[in-house]
């Protein structure tokens, strides 16, 4: 039996996929006979990154509150990989992307003075990450090939890909219904607006979509649906509790997931676990590592016309949706939490 701490950084009262992964890993470790707990550490806020890195560096993860020696630390999201332990592996979700692949968009919205200040901060964050991911951890696992490639490009860090399995839920398939399902935080990078635009194309004039999730873009999306004349074919279901999420996955025809350069995205593997195909975009990052065009879903160019055609194809043939959904389910049969725990706790890690 090992004592395992799963460390991830999170702002107060903010949920994210990394916390879902952390809790699922904790449960899987316990089911494997280990002692495990999730530790949340301070996260970066713009202008206070240095204090967040320092707070993580100073966090004591050597023993539990009961005085037990910790055998393995697994860190996830930035800057939790700054915690110090002699047996520390990072299962990386992502670094602070505004200073990496999202820098151009982020910096373009700054004043000239702000851009100079953030360019200095970017240099310091790169230096800190390079040191921590090379010297402070024994091994780096990336949660997707997309993350692995970013690490190689920006930090010159070599990482093994270890995909997170679907969260431990009672997935099921109850058929292939009359709507497509989109579930995500409603933020610009998740591109629910692309789904709304696709609904307005001639090819998708008969398609119905249920959108689950909340976020800063909801009002804009509802306005766009009304302006484009598709409000009667899109349902905004709001924040979904686990039972409602699993129910939609069980009953929908297929799942839409078209983010821009997603790190990983549980949506894909949760859809697959429910026997449902996924429609995603060629620039969606993590989902592209799972979706095989015409076999487990559709890969489309990231524009409304291409997405609209794929949505229509999926709705025009329930038999194709079922065939691809069943193949999708089979494709992740080997993706289990038991194997994930073995990889993360192996002695060479």
* More confident position, 241 or 349: 241
* pLDDT of res. 15: 67
* pLDDT of res. 219: 95
Q: Are residues 104 and 184 in the same domain?
A: no
- pLDDT of 173 > 90? The answer is yes
Mean pLDDT on 103-125: 92
* pLDDT of res. 47: 73
For residue 145, give the CATH number of its domain.
3.40.50.2000
Q: Are residues 224 and 158 in the same domain?
A: no
d(CA 133, CA 37) in angstroms, rounded, equals 22
Kindly state whether residue 175 falls inside one of the protein's structural domains: no
The answer, yes or no, to whether the previous bond of 79 is cis (omega within 30 of 0) is: yes
* More confident position, 47 or 312: 312
Find, among 340, 341, 337, the residue nearest to 4 by Cα. 341
> Which pTM does this prediction carry?
0.88
Q: Are residues 25 and 139 in the same domain?
A: yes
**3-state SS, one letter per residue, for the chain:** CCEEEEEEECCCCCCCHHHHHHHHHHHHHHHCCCEEEEEEECCCCCCCHHHHHHHHHHCECCECCCCCECCEEEECCCCHHHCECCCEEEEECCCCHHHCCCHHHHHHCCCHHHHHHHHHHHHHHHHHHHHHHHHCCCEEEECCHHHHHHHHHHHCCCCEECCCCCCCCCCCCCCCCCCEEEECCCCHHHCHHHHHHHHCCHHHCCCCEEEECCCCCHHHHHHHHHHCCCHHHEEEEECCCHHHHHHHHHHCCEEECCCCCECCCHHHHHHHHCCCCEEEECCCEHHHHCCCECCCEEEECCCHHHHHHHHHHHHHCHHHHHHHHHHHHHHCCCCCHHHHHHHHHCCCC
Mean pLDDT on 284-301: 96
Mean pLDDT on 228-256: 96
Q: Output the CA–CA distances (angstroms, integers) from residue 9 to 120, 300, 345, in the order listed.
A: 23, 34, 21
- Domain count across the chain: 2
Q: Are residues 195 and 272 in the same domain?
A: yes
Kindly state whether residue 173 falls inside one of the protein's structural domains: no
pLDDT digits (tens, 9 = 90+) for 248-282: 999 999 999 999 999 888 899 999 999 999 999 99
Mean pLDDT on 313-329: 97
Q: Are residues 78 and 23 in the same domain?
A: yes
* pLDDT of res. 228: 96
- pLDDT of 348 > 60? The answer is no
Q: Are residues 111 and 217 in the same domain?
A: no
Q: Are residues 139 and 40 in the same domain?
A: yes
Q: Are residues 186 and 67 in the same domain?
A: no
d(CA 275, CA 269) in angstroms, rounded, equals 10
Q: If you average pLDDT over every residue of the chain, what do you get?
A: 93
Find, among 39, 271, 85, the residue nearest to 166 by Cα. 271
Kindly state whether residue 171 falls inside one of the protein's structural domains: no
Give the lowest-confidence range in 13-22, 124-133, 292-301, 306-315. Answer: 13-22
Residues 205-227 as b or e (16 or more Cβ within 10 Å = b): eebbbbbbbebebbeebbebbee
d(CA 66, CA 63) in angstroms, rounded, equals 8
Q: Are residues 107 and 244 in the same domain?
A: no
pLDDT digits (tens, 9 = 90+) for 215-231: 999 999 999 999 999 99
Kindly state whether residue 318 falls inside one of the protein's structural domains: yes
Kindly state whether residue 325 falls inside one of the protein's structural domains: yes
Kindly state whether residue 174 falls inside one of the protein's structural domains: no
Q: Are residues 218 and 319 in the same domain?
A: yes
Q: Are residues 151 and 257 in the same domain?
A: no
Kindly state whether residue 304 falls inside one of the protein's structural domains: yes
Residue 349: which pLDDT band, with cuts at 50, 70 and 90?
low
Q: Are residues 148 and 28 in the same domain?
A: yes
The CA-CA-CA angle for residues 33, 38, 43, to 5°, reads 155
Q: Which domain holds residue 225?
A: 180-331
Residue 18: which pLDDT band, with cuts at 50, 70 and 90?
confident
């Amino acid at each position: 039996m090992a004592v395992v701490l799963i460390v991830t950084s999170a702002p107060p009262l903010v949920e994210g996929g990394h916390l879902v992964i952390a809790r699922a890993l904790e449960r899987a470790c316990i089911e494997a006979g280990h002692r495990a707990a999730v530790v949340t550490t301070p996260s970066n806020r713009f202008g206070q990154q240095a204090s967040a890195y320092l707070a993580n560096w100073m966090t004591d993860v050597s023993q539990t509150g009961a005085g037990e020696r910790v055998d393995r630390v697994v860190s996830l999201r930035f800057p939790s990989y700054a915690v110090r332990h002699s047996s520390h592996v990072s299962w990386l979700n992502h670094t602070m992307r505004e200073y990496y692949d999202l820098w151009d968009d982020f910096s373009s919205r700054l004043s000239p003075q702000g851009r100079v200040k953030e360019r200095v901060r970017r240099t310091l964050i790169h230096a800190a990450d390079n040191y921590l991911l090379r010297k402070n951890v024994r091994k780096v696992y990336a949660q997707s090939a997309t993350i692995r490639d970013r690490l190689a490009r920006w930090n010159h860090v070599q990482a093994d890909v270890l995909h997170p399995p679907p969260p431990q839920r009672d997935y099921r398939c109850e058929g292939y219904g009359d709507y497509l399902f989109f579930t995500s935080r409603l933020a610009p990078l998740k591109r629910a607006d692309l789904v709304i635009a696709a609904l307005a194309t001639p090819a998708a004039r008969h398609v119905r979509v249920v959108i689950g999730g909340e976020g800063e873009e909801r009002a804009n999306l509802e306005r766009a649906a009304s302006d484009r004349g598709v409000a009667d074919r899109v349902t905004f279901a709001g924040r979904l509790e686990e039972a409602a999420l699993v129910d939609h996955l069980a009953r929908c025809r297929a799942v839409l997931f078209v983010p821009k350069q997603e790190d990983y995205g549980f949506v894909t593997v949760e859809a697959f676990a429910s026997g449902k195909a996924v429609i995603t975009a060629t620039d969606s990052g993590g989902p592209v590592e799972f979706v095989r065009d015409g076999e487990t879903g559709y890969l489309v160019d990231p524009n409304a016309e291409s997405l609209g055609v794929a949505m229509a194809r999926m709705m025009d043939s329930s038999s194709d949706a079922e065939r691809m959904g069943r193949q999708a389910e089979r494709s992740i049969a080997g993706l289990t939490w038991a194997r994930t725990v073995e990889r993360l706790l192996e002695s060479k890690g």
